[in-house]
Chain A
Amino acid sequence: MSEQSQVEQLVRDLSDGRLDRRTFLQRAAAAGLALGTANALAGALGADSAFGSTRAAGVLRVRAVGDVQNMDPAFIPGSNEGAVLANVYEGLVAFKPGTYNLVPVLADKWQPSNDGLRYHFTLRKGVKFHGGYGEVTAADVKFSFERTAGLTSPAIESPYKSDWAALGEVRVTGRYSGTIILKNKFAPLLTNTLPGFDGYIVSRKAVSDLGDDFAHHPIGTGPYEFVSWTPGQKTVLRKFEGYGGSWQRHVKAPIWSGIEFVPISVSNAATIAIQSGAVDWGPIGPEAVNSFKSDSKFRVDARTTLNYSWIGMNIAHPNLKDVNVRRAIRAAIDVPSILAAAFDGKWSRARSLLAPGMPVGYWKQAPAYARDVNKAKSFLARSGVSGLELTMAASKTAVGGQTIAEIVQANLADIGIKVQVLVQDRSVFNQLGGDAQKNRQLFYELFTTPTPEPSFATEWFTCGQVNVWNWQSWCNRQFSTWDAQAMKTLDPEIRSEVAWPTAYFAGKKAIKPSLQPSGFYQTWDFRQT
């Protein structure tokens, strides 16, 4: 059964009263729902039939990986806000939970032009913003998109401006209708911009009324409205009584009276919090999976992400200039041991930048290098380098980062390379350009790819990103051109063919023995709240 039909079946079961909320949650997550969407979805599902009454269930307490900081969709720093906002905001369209198929949410009708440059939309009528900010109109859509694109005046400088780089304007053709007009074809529009947080519709009135406070007081149209944020402690949402029901064409009405996001950044503390019932549900670290699985009070479900992490080498650094040195390092590193120790075997080995779940571009036959100390030694001998000393940096907050660095240290010691491990604060680890880039040697980095847009996984390795996020300093004109072309074509076949010739990337150059976190684990217990 496909994931999509699994979800549909689940929803039918729940509304027919065959499932209770617990079981639903278990199975929904098993079908592969993102944390944010699963909340929205689980919240949106009707409890009426399951509990035989219209009384709302209690408050769901969710472990958040970190505290929220800025909840303005144009400025959100990361997934902590993302999980909250998924319940508060809605876009014109979204991915149907558990799939990467677009379904209309705030849009009633949705029509792209043949040339892929115009997208006509008609809004559902009578959908209300939270906090009495009135009905959603096409003017709000125009404002939301053009704001992030930097086209409103005064213009804002959103980090997500490039997601709307192709936007010419949004033309309002009626109170509820309008057209998104692009300057050029832009493939990520449908894979990332519109279904992601870039596509959330904000209230123009709320943004101007609240000013700076808007960042800490989101006003959307979602099934849950924002109540309060206590820094470091919790973010509280409650069921929005005036909910316009845009999701209800796909799922049913919200069942929880509220959702509380409790930030617990340390994986170990989160494990303890979930075990002791301090929170009901949330992501856990790979090291905790087995013990939760063996505990009948809990249910653990895995979800495959599109994120990838890797051990990189800065080829611009004098120590790593020689390709044979890099080959030696690649041959010396023991990837299976890293997967076992850093991720308790719960993440799988990456074969390319694009994860298996990516709709196009996954390179199944990519080579995976096994550890071969003799080969490594002979590469090193060929390079003529001896007494090599390297640094290997990892961010303190990266799951398994320290462990990986320590294993690499031990692996390379076997071929006579001395490695100094640097476990750094994010603020030091993430320094861009300048001396930071000049001194960078080996590093372990993780990129998140929240939406199925292949270019988002690859754009960081282009020539333009050297001295920014391309820490490898690897610049290949052809690869960069391909990457740019792939963004501008809409044909999936062409995208798959011209885009991301990963064979070239990973095969010819000894850049990175990569690891891929394609398992991401969530767990919760089912005490009634």
Chain B
Amino acid sequence: MLQYLIKRIGMAFLVAVLLMVFLALLVHAVPGDPVNAILGQRSTPELVRTVREQMGLDKTVPAQVAQFVGHAFQGDLGHDFVSNLPVTNLIRNALPHTIALAVSSLALAILFGIPLGVLAATRPNGILDRLTGVVSISLITTPSYIAGLYLLLLFSLTVELFPAVGTGSFSHPIGYLQHLVLPAVALALGWIGYFARLVRTSMLEILNANYIRTAYAYGLRESVIVYRHALKNAIIPTVAVLGVGLGELMGGAVFVEVIFSRVGLGSLIVESIETRNYPVVQGCVLTVALLFVLANLLADLSYRFLDPRIRVEEST
């Protein structure tokens, strides 16, 4: 177990370094100049030169890459070109809102997806099963931005139930939750469908397993079998995808953050790409990627912890 852990963390670390190099290279090859976006109408060529020097943009690309990677390891992601604030400040400010969004979406997905899957699995090929099958695949194939736009149209503009724009603040929890509802639902819908299918499949496998048949033979009540024994084991595969899920949700948050004008990493990335604010793009993308790696690692470990049948594979 320890060996596996070390190997897994080593991989995550290697991936993180690769990411940083990749990012540093990537953003410096981007066309467009942040100075133009920052200075605007009154800038003079001399001023542009001065500002470029201040930003270190006059250095060679390898030097900039080395500097970025070196500083990143010390937790320094550089300064925002525009406001000159440390990028870590901006991320600290935006990240909690993205995490709140991703986690609440994941919670919704679990809360609705798992029961839906169980429901479908209890009567395979019944009407309910077919119905949930169609519903869940429709949810899976609906892009989150379409869900977001429809929810916005329906529940903010037509029926004014929830606020359409903004994030709210943590100091006003009720207001914050009101702002969170529509974006979280928009983001969760696809995963509700996904979890429903996942749980249904693994439930069916387990309900066919020998020990469950034995339980039936012993005359245990169906609900006991389904909920106490089968579900417990059927959930394990969903744990394995939680990590990927959280990461994908943080990425998918871009759309709903833009649609609902939310503060968050996604909207920060889109904005910073627009102004070629390299340090912010680098910092945010790196943060998302690291969290993604971390979430995968944790999910992987807990999966192994939960399911004793899985042995540590040496090959991966």
Contact = CB atoms under 8 A, between A and B. Distances in A.
Contacts of B263: 232-233
Contact of A264 (B84, B157, B169, B261): B261
B83 A425 contact: no
A232 B37 CA distance: 17
A425 to B, nearest CB: 5
Interface string A239-275: 0000000000000000000000010101001001100
Interface in B20-45: 31-34, 36-45
Interface stretch (B87-95, B210-218, B244-252): B87-95
B186 interface: no
Nearest to A447: B41
A501 interface: no
B208 interface: no
Given A426-B37, A430-B40, A70 B83 contact: yes
A70 B164 CA distance: 29
A276 interface: yes
B160 interface: yes
A72 B267 CA distance: 26
A278 B48 CA distance: 38
B82 A77 contact: yes
A160 B42 contact: yes
Given A231-B89, A276-B156, A428 B31 contact: yes
Nearest to B35: A427
Nearest to A66: B271
B84 A469 contact: no
Nearest to B42: A159
Nearest to A70: B83
Nearest to A460: B41
In this complex, the member of B45, B157, B274 whose beta carbon has the largest number of chain A beta carbons within 10 angstroms is B274
A273 B36 CA distance: 30
A157 B157 contact: no
Interface string A30-50: 000000000000000000000
Nearest to B157: A272
B33 A431 contact: yes
Nearest to B89: A231
A425 B274 contact: yes
A272 B275 CA distance: 25
A431 B36 contact: yes
B165 interface: yes
A159 B165 CA distance: 35
Contacts of A448: 41
A433 B85 CA distance: 29
Interface string B152-183: 00001100100111110100000000000000
Contact of A70 (B37, B84, B160): B84
Contacts of B167: 233
Contacts of A460: 41
Contacts of A273: 164-166, 261
A469 B40 CA distance: 10
Interface string A197-239: 0000000000000001001100000000000001111000000
A127 interface: no
B197 interface: no
A430 B36 contact: yes
Interface string A423-449: 001111111110000000000000110
Interface in A308-365: none
B267 to A, nearest CB: 8
B50 interface: yes
B84 A212 contact: yes
Contacts of B274: 396-397, 425-427
A244 to B, nearest CB: 30
B45 A468 contact: yes
A63 B32 CA distance: 29
A391 interface: no
A458 interface: no
B200 interface: no
A109 to B, nearest CB: 32
B18 to A, nearest CB: 27
Interface in B266-302: 267-268, 273-276
Given A77-B38, A425-B37, A432-B36, A269 B261 contact: yes
Interface in A387-437: 396-397, 425-433
A170 to B, nearest CB: 22
B268 A232 contact: yes
A269 B36 contact: no
Contact of B36 (A69, A215, A233, A426): A426
A266 B261 contact: yes
A78 interface: yes
Contacts of A162: 42
B131 interface: no
A432 B45 contact: yes
B47 interface: yes
Nearest to A396: B274
A160 B43 CA distance: 9
A411 to B, nearest CB: 28
Contact of B160 (A215, A276, A432): A276
Contact of B165 (A232, A278, A426, A431): A278
Contacts of B157: 272
A311 to B, nearest CB: 18
A427 B44 contact: no
B314 to A, nearest CB: 47
Contacts of B50: 157
B93 A232 contact: yes
A471 B126 CA distance: 69
Contacts of B90: 231-232
A231 B94 CA distance: 9
Nearest to A232: B263
Contacts of B156: 272, 276
A272 B165 contact: yes
Interface of B: 31-34, 36-45, 47-48, 50, 82-85, 89-90, 93-94, 156-157, 160, 163-167, 169, 261, 263, 267-268, 273-276
Given A232-B268, A433-B45, 8 more contacts: A231-B93, A232-B267, A269-B165, A276-B163, A278-B165, A426-B274, A427-B33, A427-B274
5 contacts: A159-B44, A212-B84, A278-B166, A427-B33, A427-B276
Across the A-B interface, give the 5 residue pairs with the lowest CB-CB distance, nearest first.
A427-B37, A430-B36, A427-B32, A428-B32, A427-B276
